[in-house]
């Protein structure tokens, strides 16, 4: 039987994409819209600051270009139960009646051991290592741009990732990782696993101050066998970070 890789798992992640039904929204009285925006702004501001201050998660809001959605919320929390509670809070907002969810993705921050030497044992307490903790419990970068996409490893005849040996996959992933490391300081990434949790196997979330870096990085990776032979990609989203005050001001118009 082919050996599965070991993983270290960190914070749980919810990517939540929605759009505002402006026809319904504009049918509300101005006072109703004002109250709804104030309520939403307070909750979003609270969730953008409270978990981070308590070192129990983080959140980011992004406006998205194109037809796929308008508002992307990225929430990282300690447990799946925390995300359930947050989703219930968000659904209880008055403005939720005018927000149509167009996509969502549930996953958990994941570090594989492909880069480790054969026989390396997983640390018993990875969060005691500051380097591992920062990767398992990442904060949402302050940089303005985000790119998000789901992906699978291929299971095609002649190119089935899941029939490769662990050593074969380890060699491929080490070379693949070298490409990403060349973009250190320009692009930061968060890989979150979703096997058994959502329709795709992983979500890749990239952050950068320059959106062209997303194109450069993904293009270069497409020519690597891990992508060219063994990857399948879902829809891509690109967004720009926005704070709750700017968002509510935009929707107040």
Q: What does the alpha-carbon distance between residue 61 and residue 20 come to, in Å, rounded to a whole number?
A: 14
Task: Tell which residue, 239, 6, 251, has the closest CA to residue 140.
Answer: 239
Residue 202 vs residues 35, 38, 46, 77, 195: alpha-carbon distances, Å: 38, 35, 28, 17, 7
Query: Rounded to the nearest 5°, which phi and psi values hold at 128?
Result: -80, -15
Give catalytic residues, as residue numbers.
149
Report which of 62, 101, 19 is spatially closest to residue 239, judged by C-alpha positions: 62
């Amino acid at each position: 039987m082919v050996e599965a890789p070991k993983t270290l798992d960190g914070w749980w992640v919810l990517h939540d994409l929605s759009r505002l039904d402006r026809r319904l929204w504009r049918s509300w009285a101005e006072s109703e819209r004002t109250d709804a925006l104030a309520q939403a702004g307070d909750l979003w501001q609270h969730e953008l600051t409270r978990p981070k201050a308590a070192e129990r998660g983080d959140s980011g809001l992004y406006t998205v270009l194109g037809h796929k959605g308008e508002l992307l919320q990225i929430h990282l929390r300690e447990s799946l139960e925390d995300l359930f509670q947050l989703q219930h809070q968000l659904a209880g907002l008055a403005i939720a009646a005018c927000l149509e969810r167009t996509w969502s993705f549930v996953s958990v921050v994941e570090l594989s051991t492909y880069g480790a030497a054969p026989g390396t044992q997983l640390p018993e307490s990875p969060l005691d290592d500051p380097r591992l903790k920062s990767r398992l419990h990442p904060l949402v970068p302050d940089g303005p741009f985000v790119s998000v996409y789901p992906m699978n490893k291929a299971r095609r005849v002649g190119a089935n990732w899941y029939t490769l040996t662990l050593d074969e996959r380890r060699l491929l992933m080490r070379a693949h990782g070298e490409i990403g490391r060349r973009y250190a300081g320009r692009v930061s990434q968060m890989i979150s696993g979703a096997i058994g949790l959502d329709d795709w196997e992983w979500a890749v979330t990239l952050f950068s101050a320059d959106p062209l870096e997303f194109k450069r990085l993904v293009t270069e990776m497409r020519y690597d066998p891990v992508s060219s032979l063994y990857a399948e990609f879902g829809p891509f989203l690109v967004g720009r970070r926005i704070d709750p005050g700017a968002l509510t001001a935009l929707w107040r118009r």
